Amino acid sequence: MKNTLSIFCRWSYPKSQGGIPMHNYHLMNLLNDNMEINSISIHDQYNIDNLINKKGLQYFFIKLPFKSMFDLSFRFKVLDNWFRSYKDWIISKQMFKANYNFSSNIMEFMDIHSEGYYFLKNRNYFKNSKIIIRSHTPWTLLRKYYQAKDKKNVDSKWSYNREYFCFKKCDIITTPSKNLKLNLINIFNLNEKKIVVLPNIIDTDHFKPLKIRKNDGRFKMLHVGRFNRGKGVITMIKAFIKLAIKYDNIFLVNVGKTDKNILLECKTLLKKNNLDQRVSFENFIDYQDLPKYYGHTDVVIVPSELYESFSYTAAQGMSCGRVVIASDIGGIPETLNYGKAGLLFKPGNVRSLIDNIKKVYLKNINPKEFEYAARNFILDNFSFKVLKTKYLNFYKGQLKSKK
C-alpha cells in the first residue's frame, strides 16, 4: 500500500493558476507514481468537471458555509479584515472535518491564511501523521512591503499569532528559497533545522524555447502577473516611457489581471506621451498559452516591489530561454543565479531598470549567452527530472522519522 500525502489548499488548478495551486498541481503529478496523493480545496464546479478522475489523482472539495455573508462583508471595509480572518478560521475547520474521509501519513498546508491552524489546535486527532507547512510567503513578512492604502483590503487580524502558532507546532517547514528560510528564522525565532529548502517546480517541457521566433523588427518587453502597485508596474511603465520616446521600435505586452485604478494611472501616463498604442494589456491568459508569449518576446520584466520568495514569471521566462530582468528582492536573485542567468535591478528604481533594458536592447551584453544560461539553470535546478528525487527523499525521510 502506498503512503498517503494530503495537500490542503483553498485554491486548486486549473480554476486557480497562481503560484501556490500550480506548485501543488506539479507536486501531485511529480509524486503520483510513488505516493497516494489527495488534494483538498474549496468546492468549485469548474475544477470538479476538469479534475475528477484525471490522471488518477484524488480530489476532495469542501463547501464554504455563509459564503454570501463573506461576499457581502468585503463591501464594508471596516469589517473586511475581521471577516477575512474569520473566513480563514472557517476554511481551516471545514478542511479538518473533510480529513475524516481518509487517513494520511503526511498532511501539508500552505502558510498563507494559516489553513493548518485548526488541525494543529486539535493535534491529538492526528498523532500518527506528520504535519508540514509549505511556506510561500507569510503575511507577517509580506505586510511591511504594502502601502497603507493597499494593505487595507488584504490584511487579516491575528495573522502573526496564527502563523507563529502553525510554524511552532508543525513538524517541519519547507520553503522555495534560502532567503525565505532566513526570514522565517529571524521573524519567528525558528530553529534552522526545522526548515528545509525545496525549490518550486517548473514544467520545462511546457516552458521551452520556440524553434522559430517571429522577427518583425520590434523589441518586445513582456510583463506577466497581476498589474498592481506592489508588482512594480508603475516603475516599469515609467521606464518604458523614457525608452520608448528615444527608441521607436520598443513595445510592451502585459499579461495578467489588472487593478483598475493602477491601470488608469498607467494608461494616463502613456497617453500623455502618445505611447498608448505601443502597450497592450491582455488580461488573464491561460497557463497553457503562456509559452508562446514568452517565446515571442525579447526580454521578460519582473519589477516586483513586494517580497517574493520565488518568481514563477522569472523562472518560466528563463525556461523559455528568454532574458529576464528582475527586481533584486527576496528570493528572486536565487532564481536568476544571482545575476549569472538574468539581470537584476534595484526595486522601484526607474534608472536602474532602464540601464538593464538598454544592455539587452543595445546588445551591450550577449543576449544569447544569457538565454542559454537561463534555460540551463532552470533545467538543472527546477525541472521535474531534478526535483523528483529531492522531493521523494524528503517525504520518505518524514515517514521514517514519524513518531
> Which range among 76-90, 149-163, 199-213 has the greatest average pLDDT?
199-213
CA neighbor of 95 nearest in space, from 224, 169, 8, 167? 8
219-381: CATH number: 3.40.50.2000
Does the pLDDT value for residue 54 go beyond 60? no
Nearest residue to 37 (alpha-carbon basis) of 107, 115, 127: 107
Contact between 85 and 157 (Cβ < 8 Å): yes
Class of domain 4-201+384-400: alpha beta
- The three cell numbers of residue 79 are 469589517
Please list, residue by residue across 368-399, b when 16 or more beta carbons sit within 10 angstroms of its beta carbon and e when fewer do. eebbebbbebbbebbbeebbeeebeeebeebe
Alpha-carbon distance of 301 to 234, in angstroms, equals: 12
Cα angle 292, 56, 132 (rounded to 5 degrees) comes to 85
User: Reduced to 3 states, what is the DSSP secondary structure of residue 104?
Assistant: coil
Instruction: Please name the residues in contact with 395: beta carbons below 8 A apart, sequence gap of 6 or more.
Output: 3, 5, 31, 35, 106
Same fold, 4-201+384-400 and 219-381: yes
Residue 126 banded pLDDT, cuts 50, 70, 90? confident
pLDDT given for residue 125 in this prediction: 83
pLDDT the model gives residue 74: 55
Residues 196, 135: Cα–Cα separation, whole Å: 10
pLDDT band for position 225 (50/70/90)? very high
Sheet holding 58-62, edge to edge: 58-62, 36-42, 4-8, 106-110, 130-134, 172-175, 195-197
What is the percent of the chain where pLDDT is above 70?
A: 90
C-alpha cell at 15: 480554476
> Higher confidence at residue 359 or residue 113?
359
Residue 297 CB: number of other CB atoms within 10 A? 24
pLDDT score, position 78: 46
Q: What is the mean pLDDT of residues 67-95?
A: 69
Contact criterion met (CB below 8 Å) for 36 and 105:
no
Q: What is the mean pLDDT of the chain?
A: 89
Which band of pLDDT confidence, cut at 50, 70 and 90, is reported for residue 66?
Answer: low
pLDDT band at 45 (very low <50, low <70, confident <90, very high): confident
What are the domain boundaries of the chain?
4-201+384-400, 219-381
Write down the pLDDT at residue 244.
Answer: 98
Does the structure show a pLDDT above 60 at 1?
no
Residue 60 neighbours by CB under 8 Å, 6+ apart: 38, 39, 40, 41, 98, 101, 102
pLDDT (0 to 100) of residue 182: 98
Report residue 263 as a C-alpha cell.
491601470
pLDDT, average across residues 51-68:
69
**Residue pLDDT, tens place only, 328-358:** 999 999 999 999 999 999 999 999 999 999 9
